[in-house]
């Protein structure tokens, strides 16, 4: 069985290690732990790994965040992956910093990457949201999400990224309901 695991982010050095690129950061950690390397391909960087008897196609779209849906739709079709086997990883300002929440479907909550995906394939796909918190002055949301992690945040990221990687494995092996029960609110 195949799964498409998509980490949202923006390509380019100016976006490296920014809060908005947490999806890329999580997939990079997952790929490293799985001993696979991303290769540039159509609509993004792709890596493939096995988790027991499951095949995970890891995708970091190169379409920029706001056009991520093009890459997601293409790779779902290219790999003949059912939409229920899609997991999209993104940042979320509404969640406290470093909190992780998996949901089976839902609105885009103002996230442009999710909004573009939903406009092309609908909202019935799983998402793993990584909390950024809302510790920014009014009107400075864009500066905050496109800003780099603070030193204090960097120290807290490693164990949370490790947990996000465990959630990806659980999603493929156990399904979304069991994964939500086991990991949400931890």
Query: Is the pLDDT at 68 greater than 80, yes or no?
Result: yes
Pick the more confident residue, 150 or 6: 6
Query: Is the pLDDT at 172 greater than 90, yes or no?
Result: yes
| Domain boundaries of the chain, sorted by first residue | 2-183
Query: Is the pLDDT at 141 greater than 90, yes or no?
Result: no
Tell me which of 3.20.20.70, 3.40.640.10, 3.40.50.1470, 3.40.718.10 is the CATH number of domain 2-183: 3.40.50.1470
Rounded (10°) angle between helices 151-174 and 22-33: 60
Q: Is the pTM of this model over 0.85?
A: yes
pLDDT of residue 137: 77
Measured in degrees and rounded to the nearest 5, phi and psi for residue 162 equal -60, -40
Point out the residues that are catalytic: 20
User: Across the chain, what does the average pLDDT equal?
Assistant: 93
CA–CA separation, 69 and 172 (whole Å): 21
Query: Is the pLDDT at 140 greater than 90, yes or no?
Result: no
CA–CA separation, 168 and 170 (whole Å): 5
pLDDT of residue 134: 84
In sequence order, the β-bridge partners of residue 89 are 7, 128
pLDDT band of residue 148 (cuts 50, 70, 90) is: very high
Distances (CA, A) of 6 to 16, 85, 127, 141: 17, 11, 9, 23
pLDDT 10s digits, 8-62 = 999 999 999 999 999 999 999 999 999 999 999 999 999 999 999 999 999 999 9
pLDDT 10s digits, 95-105 = 999 999 999 99
pLDDT 10s digits, 75-90 = 999 999 999 999 999 9
Query: Is the pLDDT at 109 greater than 80, yes or no?
Result: no
């Amino acid at each position: 069985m195949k799964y498409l695991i998509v980490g949202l982010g923006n390509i380019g050095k100016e976006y490296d290690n920014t809060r908005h690129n947490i999806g890329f950061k999580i997939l990079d950690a997952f790929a490293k732990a799985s001993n696979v390397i991303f290769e540039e391909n159509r609509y993004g960087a792709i890596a493939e790994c096995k988790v027991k008897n499951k095949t995970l196609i890891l995708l970091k779209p190169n379409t920029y965040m706001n056009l991520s849906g093009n890459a997601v739709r293409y790779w779902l079709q290219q790999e003949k992956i059912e939409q229920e086997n899609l997991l999209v990883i993104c940042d979320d300002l509404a969640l406290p910093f470093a909190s992780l929440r998996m949901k089976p479907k839902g609105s885009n909550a103002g996230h442009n990457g999710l909004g573009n995906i939903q406009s092309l394939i609908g909202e019935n796909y799983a998402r793993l949201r990584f909390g950024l918190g809302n510790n920014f002055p009014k009107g400075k949301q864009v500066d905050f999400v496109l800003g780099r992690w603070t030193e204090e945040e960097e120290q807290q990221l490693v164990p949370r990224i490790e947990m996000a990687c465990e959630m990806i494995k659980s999603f493929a092996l156990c399904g979304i309901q069991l994964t939500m029960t086991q990991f949400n609110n931890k």
